[in-house]
Amino acid sequence: MKSLGILGALVLALSSTQLSEAHGSSSYPRAIRPKLAGGQKFTVYDTPIALSVGSNAINPAVPVDTKNKVEIIGTAIIDKLSSENNIPPSNIRVTSAYADTGSGITHIYLVQTVDGKDITNSVANVNVDASNHIISLSHSFAPAGSLVSAAKVDSTSLESSDTAKDALSILATHIGISLTKVELEAATHTTVNNIISGQPQLVVEGLPTAFAIDGTAKVNTEYIQQSDGSVVPVWRVVVEQKDHWWNAHIDVSNQKVISLSDWYAQSESYFVYAKDTLSPADGSRKMVVDPAYASASPKEWVSDDTTSGNNVWAQSNPFGSSTWKTNHRPTAQSGGVFNYTIDFTKAPKTYIDAAITQLFYSNNIMHDLSFIYGFDEAAGNFQDENYSGEGVGGDYVVAFAQDGGGTNNANFATPPDGENPRMRMYIWTQTRPNRDGDLEQDIVAHEFTHGISNRLTGGPANTDCLNDGEAGGMGEGWSDAVANILRLKSTDTSHTDFILGDYVYNKSIRKYPYSTSLTTNPSTYSFLDSPEYEEVHDIGEVWAEMLYEVMWALINKNGFAKDIFAHDLTKGNSIMLQILLDGMKLQPCNPTFIDARDAIIQAENNLTGGKNKCAIWTAFAKRGLGVNAPRPEEGSHTDDHTVPSGC
Ligand SMILES: *C1O[C@H](CO)[C@@H](O)[C@H](O)[C@H]1NC(C)=O
Ligand SMILES: *[C@@H]1O[C@H](CO)[C@@H](O)[C@H](O)[C@H]1NC(C)=O
Ligand SMILES: *[C@@H]1O[C@H](CO)[C@@H](O)[C@H](O)[C@H]1NC(C)=O
Ligand SMILES: *[C@@H]1O[C@H](CO)[C@@H](O)[C@H](O)[C@H]1NC(C)=O
Ligand SMILES: [Ca+2]
Ligand SMILES: [Zn+2]
């Protein structure tokens, strides 16, 4: 019988089928803002531009105090932005300006106005060097013509208490907090002038504390530029709650929230088997707070309050279907906390929320780790939004926890860059109660690594390079090898043996443990000629065993990085992961063992200048892949233990 994934046969390469997408079901408020068509381009001048007031260039040595100098520069900037963008100077206001004492650069921040009110997202910043030259500039001003319609709106009426209360009611509905008519009517209000802008602002008091922690909300009118460049009047509402401090802009004409930001930095916490814990057999769960790596996931992992984000969407899938958007996902408790119970005396389905949380966590860990080692946007990784603009976005991992489509296995399907891959994790039935593959890190790491090797070998647009034979077998082998690198602990030595799938299967899912002992694991290149070694997982076991030898050779020579995420390329385990991924990028489509070995050696040569060349050759040669090992087209996989001369 042929099965899929970690145990059975091959990894699927999906055709480019597009699945229809339903809308997500979360009610949690996401930050929103109009995406301006013109963006906010940042211009850096190679030759700084002299500033002038009227027709007079500003004297580089303005002999006045700093405050005065900042004011003069501010006026000059307003004149420049005004004439360049055809906006009257009276419609541009400096919001902040200061001369930085360290760099000597003066920073001027501005906003465009209508009727004396700010267009909240039409802003500029200009940087001026110590000799009064503009060194860089950016703005998102609305085009001149778009202001005409906005100027016609009578904004004074918007400051009445009734309309202000309308605005509160719309925001409450949007963020899912009850605020009744009666509660609103009971609230009182006063008018004050905003400390910074000087513009009138209504302070509404006596609101229920679920909506406003101190009972008050501030409302005023402003304008906002929409994505098409048009400018519309909005209510701005600022209200603080226990875990949020909202700054909302509500469109007056259609009564919708069109911009929303939260001044609280949202934290994310997961109660999980952390990345240094292999499975429930290896330790207990703990709370990890904000585990995202900023270089890989600058906006963290969660986009709203459930297990979906830029890198991964994790959900249940009891019927093994292929759609995911409307599937069940757990909702975080207040403060972004994902903490769900597990009772191991019961069936896995009783702890599905903990399983989904774990799967979401482990996939994101794999995303960040592989990103740090070069499986990034340009290299075709899995992300909805690719922040660099390189590669193709729209392809976060769709990960199904406790998928009902199978048992005793797991699999990963890798379509080309730009299409969502699928990870399916099954329940394992060897034990009573059954066990859940979502909770075993080496299973998830194995599956995710299929995505890495498929996208990197032959380029991100081609995921048909590791389908069968030696290439397909190495696909399985790299997946075990990366799982082995991730699970390393500082107490492990080259005498430690690793068993894959130990927790879910209650024994190894491979023939032999990974070991540097030829007795414990006798695998060598010539095993590939045995009829028992035609299936990809069997071939993969030989490759992963060779890589296990290389890994320990590198650690023994270079030492061990306690934290693989620190990317310390002087340490053996970090070098190993780096040259595995670099080798995948270098090697040809449908590589043989020999091709892949040569790519790893080339990658190491590039990384360190060949410091570890002999250590790597010695490790491969120990398992029969020495310099004279024949290529498969030469007829056999005879073991060769020769190392290059000089080693
Ligand atoms: C490795 O590759 C980089 C980028 O192509 C190159 O700049 C560098 O010189 C190479 N290093 C070695 C040791 O070959
Ligand atoms: C997780 O939630 C349980 C209640 O289900 C609670 O008792 C426990 O303290 C929480 N754990 C953490 C670390 O917050
Ligand atoms: C990459 O992501 C950016 C958003 O960050 C998007 O604008 C762009 O279209 C994406 N590129 C591709 C080719 O998908
Ligand atoms: C695991 O296997 C051992 C025998 O190898 C057995 O004694 C034990 O009960 C099994 N554990 C479970 C949870 O089934
Ligand atoms: Ca991608
Ligand atoms: Zn596999």
Taking only the tens place, the pLDDT of each residue in 10-58 is 333 322 222 222 222 234 566 788 888 777 778 888 888 888 765 555 6
CB-based contacts of 188: which residues, under 8 Å, 6+ apart? 204, 205, 206
The percentage of residues in the chain with a pLDDT greater than 70, rounded to a whole number, is 91
Site of tokens 């994101």? 364
Identify the band that residue 198 occupies on the pLDDT scale cut at 50, 70 and 90: confident
Spot the catalytic one: 183, 300, 377, 447: 447
How far apart, in whole angstroms, are the C-alpha atoms of residue 274 and residue 95?
A: 45
How far apart, in whole angstroms, are the C-alpha atoms of residue 250 and residue 256?
A: 5
How far apart, in whole angstroms, are the C-alpha atoms of residue 326 and residue 310?
A: 17
CB 408 within 8 A of CB 325: no
Site of tokens 């020495």? 626
Q: Is 271 in the pocket of ligand 2 (CB under 6 A)?
A: yes
Across 199-213, 353-367, 526-540, least confident range: 199-213
Ligand 3 atom showing the smallest separation from residue 377 Cα: 1
What count of other Cβ atoms lies within 10 Å of the Cβ of residue 198?
9
- pLDDT tens for each residue of 91-128: 999 988 888 878 888 889 999 998 888 899 999 999 99
Ligand 1 atom showing the smallest separation from residue 610 Cα: 13
Question: Which residues have beta carbons under 5 A from ligand 5 (an ion)?
Answer: 391-392, 395, 417
**Is it the case that residue 184 has pLDDT exceeding 80?**
yes
547, two tokens: 């890589």
Distance 377 CA to ligand 3 centre (A): 10
How far apart, in whole angstroms, are the C-alpha atoms of residue 73 and residue 95?
A: 13
Q: How many CA atoms lie within 13 A of 322 on its CB side?
A: 9
Stretch (H or E) spanning 513:
none
How far apart, in whole angstroms, are the C-alpha atoms of residue 248 and residue 179?
A: 16
Residue 535 confidence (pLDDT): 95
Identify the band that residue 575 occupies on the pLDDT scale cut at 50, 70 and 90: very high
Q: Is 198 in the pocket of ligand 3 (CB under 6 A)?
A: no
How does the average pLDDT of the chain come out, rounded?
Answer: 89
**Is it the case that residue 516 has pLDDT exceeding 60?**
yes
Q: Is 609 in the pocket of ligand 1 (CB under 6 A)?
A: yes
Distance 497 CA to ligand 6 centre (A): 20
* Inter-residue long-range contacts of 520-526, CB under 8 Å, 24+ positions, other chains counted: 521/497, 521/545, 523/623, 524/623, 524/624, 524/639, 525/593, 525/623, 525/624, 525/625, 525/629, 525/637, 525/638, 525/639, 525/640, 526/624, 526/636, 526/637, 526/638, 526/639
Q: Pairing state of beta strands 286-289 and 269-272?
A: antiparallel
Binding-site residue set for Zn(2+): 446, 450, 476
Q: Is 156 in the pocket of ligand 1 (CB under 6 A)?
A: no
Q: Is 606 in the pocket of ligand 1 (CB under 6 A)?
A: yes
Residue 353 confidence (pLDDT): 98
CA dihedral 11, 13, 18, 23 (to 10 degrees): 30
CA distances to 134, 155, 163, 244, 256 from 235, in Å: 35, 10, 9, 19, 10
> Is the peptide bond between 433 and the residue preceding it cis, with omega within 30 degrees of 0?
yes
Residue 9 confidence (pLDDT): 37
- pLDDT tens for each residue of 380-424: 999 999 999 999 999 999 999 999 999 999 999 999 999 999 999
Q: Is 383 in the pocket of ligand 3 (CB under 6 A)?
A: no
Distance 342 CA to ligand 2 centre (A): 11
Distance 638 CA to ligand 1 centre (A): 34
159 is catalytic: no
Q: Is 339 in the pocket of ligand 2 (CB under 6 A)?
A: yes
Site of tokens 């209508």? 114
Residue 104 confidence (pLDDT): 81
The DSSP line for 61-74 is T--S-HHHHHHHHH
Binding-site residue set: 446, 450, 476
Question: Which residues have beta carbons under 5 A from ligand 6 (an ion)?
Answer: 6, 476, 479
Site of tokens 């009610």? 27
**Is it the case that residue 312 has pLDDT exceeding 90?**
yes
Residue 284: nearest ligand to its CA? 2
- pLDDT tens for each residue of 214-265: 999 999 888 999 988 888 889 999 999 877 889 999 987 788 999 998 887 6
- Least Cα distance to 241 among 171, 140, 320 occurs for 171
Residue 408 confidence (pLDDT): 96
Q: Whose CA is nearest to atom 10 of ligand 4?
A: 506
Q: Is 95 in the pocket of ligand 2 (CB under 6 A)?
A: no
**Is it the case that residue 555 has pLDDT exceeding 90?**
yes
Residue 578: nearest ligand to its CA? 1
Q: Is 96 in the pocket of ligand 4 (CB under 6 A)?
A: no
- Least Cα distance to 373 among 274, 479, 296 occurs for 296
Distance 375 CA to ligand 5 centre (A): 10
**Is it the case that residue 524 has pLDDT exceeding 50?**
yes
- Answering whether pTM is above 0.85, one says no
How far apart, in whole angstroms, are the C-alpha atoms of residue 351 and residue 359?
A: 12
Distance 386 CA to ligand 3 centre (A): 6
Name the residue of 279, 429, 431, 439 whose CB sits within 8 Å of the most ligand 4 atoms, as the mutation to test its pocket: 431
- pLDDT tens for each residue of 618-630: 999 999 999 999 9
Distance of CA 253 to the CA centre of its chain: 36
Residues 162-171: what's their mean pLDDT?
Answer: 87
